[in-house]
Structure 1
Amino acid sequence: MIGLEAPGSADWSRFHGSQYALLKDRTKLRAVVHAISFVLACVTLWGFAYPGSLAVWGIALAVAVTLTARDEMKLGDADVRTFTFDEMKRHAIGAAFKGFAWGFGIFLFAVMGGQSQLLMLWSIAALLILLTSASRYSAPLSSITFTLALGSCVFLASLVTLQLTLAAVILATTIFAAFGVVEGSRIALGARMSDTQMQEKTEVVSMLLREFEEGKADWLWQIDTRRRLSGVSPRFAFALGRATSEIEGQSFLQLISGDGWKTGQFPQSLHELADKIKRKENFSNLMVRVTIAGEHRWWELSGTPIMDEDGVYQGFRGVGSDVTEQRESSEKIAYLARYDTLTQLPNRLMLNESVAEALHYAEQWRTRCAFLMVDLDRFKAINDSLGHLVGDQMLAEVAGRIKAVMTEGELCGRLGGDEFAIVIRDASDRKRIEALARKVIARLSEPYLIENQVLYVGASIGSSIGPRDGRTVEELLRNADLALYRAKDAGGGEYFEYEPSLHAMAEEKRQLEFSLRGALEKQELLLHYQPVVDAYSETIVSFEALVRWNSREHGFISPGKFIPLAEDTRLIVPIGTWIMQEACREAAANWPEDVKVNINVSPEQLLEPDFVTVVVRALSHSGLDPKRLEIEVTESIFVRDADIARKALEQCMALGCSIALDDFGTGYSSLGYLRKLSFSTIKVDRSFVQGAAQNSRESLAIIRAVVAMAESLEMTTTAEGVENEEEAEMIRKLGCDKIQGFHFGRPMPPADVIKIFTRKAADEQRKIA
């Protein structure tokens, strides 16, 4: 408090400098009081003391007061500069000198015989001590040194003159005066520190407010009890698009409501703001839609009511910022999170939410909802052959067609790829579900004109009904997917509802897939061979290798069941490699050199980068002449990466292998395939052979056309599915070169093939004999 020591957390120079700067304000008053006190002392001592001695005393006092006053005048700026301890010490010494000048004079006059005047002189001294304590509370060290110097001299004078009672009073007064100075200083310094800290906070707040106002997006606002703007800042005026003078005193709500102020049609957020102000409630980060110069904007406002000292409401003040850009960005992000950017339809996330809402609605009102999964047929072929740009345009048009058939309570969206979905909120009428599915299939099957090309795709749809087929979103989607698989397996362009049996089929498929993955290691696969004969001589010209699977867990599995599964899971690639190696080995080791082996190759195999290497390895390891290997492919290989497939087949032909086109006429038939690649054989599908056997004019015409085309291209023809002599004779008349079917032999194990050749050799030996 005195200033001899500075606390570690305080700024000694700052606080004491502000204290000592106050001395300048009362310097003249203290000088006048000292002069009056000296006059009173002279009156008391007049007639006893020599005038000369009084004059010397007066000069000494004048010098002491003058020096002290000069120091105090120099301390007038101590609050704005660094105040040093030396300055405080010098001022304290000056105060002590002044107190000693007073006390020594009183001491001399009392000792020289003025005992009777000592009480009056002490009264004058006590007045000076009181004055010092009152007027120099801000400089406690100087007040204490003055008090102690003056009090000790008068105390000694009372002791010397044997006025002990007076001495006790003087001693007590001096001590209590010194303690009073310390206590007064403590209170004054504490108040000064509080004022200084408050001033600092005010300056900081002002600085922050200035920085806040100078910011790019934030501003302050304030309204009075009538909701009129007051103290409008330039930044807020800029946000309102007006000059400060124009909007001062104007209605805040009217300025931000635009035309709504006349029509009474306000956004809900503006109603909420008005209610908050009306109820005098604090609010924070309130999003309000405002209209500024005819343009809709979004403001984020915070506010608090203004209360005076008596708790009377004075208005509102707060901060705000224009968050239109952030709001638009957030809305765009939210849109992208819930909508597909290509088709502008709801995406998987939003569809899942819609299904969940539909399920909740169905359970609440004891109704049903439906989920339809839509998958495009033949879209991949278009996407692969014409490119993703055309594919994207088609998906956008598909989305438009599906959306066009939607009615109330129906929502369509895109799950991803070429999969779409439809959610029906109220599906109590099952006929409505099927009617909508058939309508979507018909609409999507219509031709598309894209990039000056007429394109066709179809659609397959599977549906599930909630909560009958599932009480959760995952169950409904899974069951609709199972129904869709059934529609795809049926050839596409179909609609199926979910049935519980589909679960058993899916589980069976899963178990078959698991077993098929270990079939090669367990040696469960084997090859059977079906003969292909010359149509006229009926001699065997080749055998087609056909894979069979005899599972330890499931028994004998039909190729029609596990071959598609192997293609879906790409297990057909290692299985096809094994077939190639095993068939070539069997033909090279046990068959006559004039008999070929026909091996079917899946599109998945043909598109493998090392397919030709697999063929070369099989030929080299078995020692089979490449001319005895005929690779059979279907037209579907040209739909996916036709260039890769053609290049692989050309490399096989360069080795000496022949290529047969299987199932001609049942797939994506195009004469361009026959022109680009020199096939050795065209195989007529069994469906045409059976149709011709039933005198189908279309089937007969197709077979004749294929035969004529093959002859002109120097290719041979093979008819599949011949089951009796009548059909064989018909095929001969139609001009086919080779025949394959049960009439000449079913697929048989390798041992039976060897028996055929053994019997043939024996028959030839008997003929020679």
Structure 2
Amino acid sequence: MTEIDQNADLPADISFRALLGLADPVGMDSEFVRSIQTRSLRDRSFLRVAINLFFAVVALALYRDTAPVWATVGWLVLFVGFHAYSFHQFDAGPASLRQHFGKADLRQFQFHAGLTGIVWGSAFFLLGLHGDVMQMLGLWSIALAMMVYASLLLPTAPMSATIFITVTSLCASAIFIYHEGYYLALAALAIGGLLIAATLRSARAQILFEVAGKVLQDKSETVSLLLREFEDSGADWLWQTDTSRCVTHVSPRFAYALGQEAKEIEGQPLLKLIAGDAWENGKYDQALHDVADRLKKREAFSNLIVPVVINGKNRWWELSASPRYGENGSFLGFRGVGSNVTEQRESADKISHLARFDTLTGLPNRLQLTETLGAALQDSDKWRRRCAFMMIDLDRFKAVNDTLGHPVGDRLLAQVAKRLQLIMSDNELCGRLGGDEFAVVVKDASSAQYVADLAKKIIGTLSRPYEVDQNTLFIGASIGSAFGPADGRTVELLMRSADLALYRSKEVGGNSHNSYQHKLHASAEERRLMEVELRDAVNKNQLHVEYQPVVNAASDHTLVGFEALVRWNNPKFGNVSPGKFIPVAEDARLIVPIGEWVLRQACRDAMQWPETTKVAVNISVDQLTSPAFMETVISALHDSGLPAWRLELEVTESIFLRDGGLAIKILERIRGLGIKLSLDDFGTGYSSLGYLSNVRFDTIKVDRSFVQGAAKKKAESLAIIRAVVAMADALDLSTTAEGVETEAELQLIQELGCKKIQGYYFGRPMRFADSLDLFKAAQRRNVA
């Protein structure tokens, strides 16, 4: 163990010249002594001003009836002007923020004390000349109180106190002599002398006490640093430098860490040993600059992490050190300890990387994106320009995950990330928000066209086919963008605006880009209010069911059933289209209770129709995959008494995309109960003949878009309907054409071979009571 240096003894004495600032103290740090002397002047500035103000008011009150106005006003102006100057110079100016003071600064404080004495001394001449001896004694009492304050409250600044006491005592003595109070003048001088002597003795004791405390503190810190060599299982090592910052002593472990012999190290600059090539080119890391500055300023430092190059390899060291002083206060150099924290630093860097980057794609994660967006918003305000935030959602990605599995989906996301990185420039940062959502921060988006072109490029790039595990995959991208600060002055608001724009892109079918518009916020607010109203409508049974007729396509157009359709009439929104409130119900997880209520109501109403009439009820994906769905269907049939064969459940192809295996099992159980199944909107989604081979459907419904297209002689629509009818005939399935509204459409559908027809031509959705009237009218026609 290196022996502890005991040369820095406690200070024995300080001369009066040093106390008064006329010479540097011997064996002490003169800068530290000056800081002690100036601290009391700065720390008690408020108290000083308050006492001066109080006694000034007392002095003016004492002479208010005897001193002429010009004398009173003159002294008041002198008093206020001086304290205004004092406040500007020491309390509001640069001096109030400084920590270190030189001789010139101390002289300035002393000059200020002299001016204070002159201000109070002038009171004797401007005021004291116009009063009697009793008033003069009163003014002397005020001055004496100020002198006592200076000796008691400024013990570490004896020169300032001495100057003030001397000037004030002399002025008081002069006025006493003017009033022929010679004994009083002598007493004033004697009291001033005694106060000065007391101040000097008090200052010596106070300064010696504080210097001794500083020396003991330095010794304590040095001992603590040295003891670290034997702590932490020998992980630390000792080093020591001289006044020129060259190494004078190293422990064996320090030499081993440097990869050199101890004799080779001694005498070399510490920075040269740890800086490597940076020593030659002068390009230091900021941490090395910090070490160099501390060494140059002779400041202690602790736990500084610095990069070190040893034999061409990068390392991280933790350094701590404190300056050493000799018996006479002279600077001897530094003594410190160090340790190798490379593993801890690398682990911390790895953790930091994981915290800021997405592990699957390697792109920046949500945290880094929000930080970058926050910085971009600040720059936008600073430079008066715009930034932008783009949210990207992959179209049809969920189908890949559900059909091919999550591992394939993950590899697809990695390819998406690579394509996005190739598009980005230095002006953009691309990252992953989570799932299949990505985002781009555009730092300078002064041109809206620039963002639009970038979005177009992203959509085109991501829409190209992908090869993943011998599968050719096609997806798209929907993008929503918002500009800051116009569309949001905070990160949260700007991201919300971009999300609303993204929702609009998804709403119009995807594979498109939309910029935020204020009306989107209004639409989002409308959806929020609609959700509130819809929850209230569900709780208060404000929904109702309407029924649209389904007829036989044969010439007699016999009524064979109805499709149950939920409707909502709201006091605020009026008659709300199912196309508006059904998506809200799905997002708010209200579709299951709504669907259950429609199913039960339709079964009850169907029991009042002729026993050959069926009722078709639409089933959502959430309903079908609900654990209680089968129990709900059985309960609805049991409670209403409706035979199972009269109930037809309509599903869309989307049910196979969420959990195809589970959907197939549930549909098979439904058919096992004797319930009919209908595949709705066939051909408009992810159509696959596999659905028809895995699940036995009873009816395929041809979407109204194909019916209207066929009526306009569109070859594609005609071909699709013919293909569907041919396939249904081959599989012994029935076909229902939706959306028939005209005589021409009716004849065309009959020619194409559809078995059943549904549309406005035969009836719009109607209330239950109106559906009963249809049967009554039919009975009357039969009787006639």
TM-score of the alignment, normalized to the shorter chain, above 0.5: yes
2:162 alignment counterpart = none
Please state whether the residue corresponding to 2:760 is helix, strand or coil: coil
Which runs of structure 2 are paired with 1:47-446 in the superposition (5 Å)? Answer: 209=227, 212=230, 215-446=233-464
Q: Partner of 2:759 in structure 1?
A: 741
Cα distance in structure 2, aligned partners of 1:497 and 1:733: 47
RMSD of Structure 2 on Structure 1 (CA): 2.1
- The structure 2 residue matched to 1:583, chosen from 577, 581, 602, is 602
Give the structure-1-normalised TM-score.
Answer: 0.71
Pair 1:472–1:211, CA change in 2 (3 A)? closer
Question: 1:251: Cα distance to partner?
Answer: 3.8
Question: Matched residues in 1 for 2:296 and 2:777: separation?
Answer: 109
Match for residue 489 of structure 1? 507
Matched, 1:569 2:591: no
What secondary structure, in the 3-state scheme, does the structure 2 residue paired with 1:641 have? helix
Q: Is the contact between residue 414 and residue 421 of structure 1 (CA under 8 Å) also seen in structure 2?
A: yes
Match of 1:657 in 2: 675
Structure 1 residue 400: Cα displacement: 1.6
Q: CA deviation at 1:723?
A: 0.7
Select 2:746's aligned residue among 712, 728, 744: 728
> Is 1:708 matched up with 2:726?
yes
Q: Determine if contact 1:369/1:428 at 8 Å carries over to the other structure.
A: yes
Counterparts of residues 504-519 of structure 1 (less than 5 Å): 504-519=522-537
Distance 2:292 2:446 in 1: 45
Matched-pair identity in %: 58
Q: Does 1:601 align with 2:615?
A: no
Q: Does 1:671 align with 2:689?
A: yes
Q: Using the TM superposition, give the Cα deviation of residue 264 of structure 1 relative to its aligned residue in structure 2, in angstroms.
A: 4.0
C-alpha contact 1:213 1:220 (8 A) present in aligned 2: no
Shift of 1:431: 0.5
1:534 aligned residue? 552
Per the alignment, residue 78 of structure 1 pairs with: none
Question: Deviation digits for residues 435-490 of structure 1, max 9, x if unmatched?
Answer: 11111111111111112111121111111111111211121111111111111111
d(CA) in 2 for partners of 1:761, 1:362: 76
Task: Kindly provide the CA deviation profile for residues 292-346 of structure 1, in whole angstroms up to 9, marking residues without a partner as x.
Answer: 1221111111222222112233222111111212222222222222222222222
Question: Given the superposition, is the C-alpha separation of residues 217 and 211 from structure 1 closer, same or farther in structure 2, using an over 3 Å criterion?
Answer: closer
SS at match of 2:247: coil
The equivalent residue for 1:544 is 563
Aligned twin of 1:158: none
The answer to whether the 8 Å contact 2:320/2:336 transfers is yes
SS of the aligned residue for 1:564 comes to helix
Residue range with higher mean Cα deviation, 432-441 or 255-264: 255-264
Q: Give the match for residue 471 of structure 1.
A: 489
Where does residue 770 of structure 2 map in the other structure? 752
Amino acid at match of 2:523: M
Paired residues of 1:220 and 1:318 also in contact (CA < 8 A):
yes
SS in structure 2 at match of 1:351: helix
Q: Contact 2:699–2:733 (CA<8 Å) still a contact in 1?
A: yes
One-letter amino acid matched to 2:340: D
Q: What letter matches 1:757 in structure 2?
A: F
Which amino acid counterpart does residue 672 of structure 1 have in structure 2? G
Alignment CA distance shift 1:637-1:373 (3 Å): same
Classify the secondary structure of the residue corresponding to 1:325.
helix
Which amino acid is the alignment partner of residue 420 of structure 2?
Answer: I
- Supply the distance in 1 between the matched residues of 2:453 and 2:271 (Cα, whole angstroms): 54
- Aligned AA for 2:753? G
Task: Name the SS of the counterpart of 1:520 in structure 2.
Answer: helix
Q: Which runs of 5+ in 2 are unaligned?
A: 1-215
CA contact (8 A) 2:229 2:337 kept: no
TM-score normalized by the length of structure 2: 0.70
* Deviation readout 1:146-169 (Å, 9 max, x if unpaired): xxxxxxxxxxxxxxxxxxxxxxxx
The one-letter amino acid of 1:332's match is: K
Contact 1:213–1:235, Cα closer than 8 Å, also in 2: no
Alpha-carbon contact 2:246-2:269 (below 8 Å) kept = yes
CA distance in 1, matches of 2:427, 2:575: 49
- SS at 1:639 equivalent: helix
Residue-by-residue CA offset, 1:31-88 (whole Å, 9 max, x unaligned): xxxxxxxxxxxxxxxxxxxxxxxxxxxxxxxxxxxxxxxxxxxxxxxxxxxxxxxxxx
Q: Distance in 2 between matches of 1:243 and 1:540?
A: 104
CA drift at 1:214: 7.8
Change (3 A) 1:522 1:318: same
Deviations 1:582-638 (A, max 9, x none): 1011111x1111111111101110011121111111111111110111111111111
Inter-partner Cα distance in structure 1 for 2:713 and 2:249: 100
Match of 1:648 in 2: 666
Deviation at 1:763, TM superposition (A): 2.2
Displacement of 1:492: 0.8
CA shift at 1:208, angstroms?
7.3
**Per-residue deviation at 1:247?**
2.8
Measure the CA separation in 1 of the matches of 2:293 and 2:593.
74
Residue aligned with 1:414, SS: strand
Separation (CA, whole Å) in 2 of partners of 1:476 and 1:275:
43
Alignment match, 1:690: 708
Alignment partners' CA distance in 1, 2:552 and 2:570: 35
Contact 2:241 2:333 in 1 (8 A): yes
Length, aligned pairs only: 565
Q: Aligned pair in 2 of structure 1 residues 687, 210: CA closer, same or farther (>3 Å)? A: closer
Distance 1:274 1:592 in 2: 98
Q: Which has the larger radius of gyration?
A: 1
Query: How far apart are the structure 1 equivalents of 2:294 and 2:223?
Result: 26
Match of 1:741, as an amino acid? G
Contact 2:241 2:248 survives alignment (8 Å) = yes
How far, CA to CA, are the matches of 1:478 and 1:486 in structure 2?
Answer: 13
The CA distance in 1 between the partners of 2:741 and 2:623, in whole Å, is 31
Distance 1:563 1:437 in 2: 30
2:202 corresponds to: none
CA contact (8 A) 2:226 2:336 kept: no
Measured in 2, the distance between the counterparts of 1:741 and 1:221 equals 93
Unaligned segments of structure 1, at least 5 residues? 1-197
Q: Which has the higher contact order (CA 8 A, sep 6+)?
A: 2
Contact 1:213 1:233 in 2 (8 A): no
Q: For residue 215 of structure 1, give the secondary structure of its aligned residue in structure 2.
A: helix
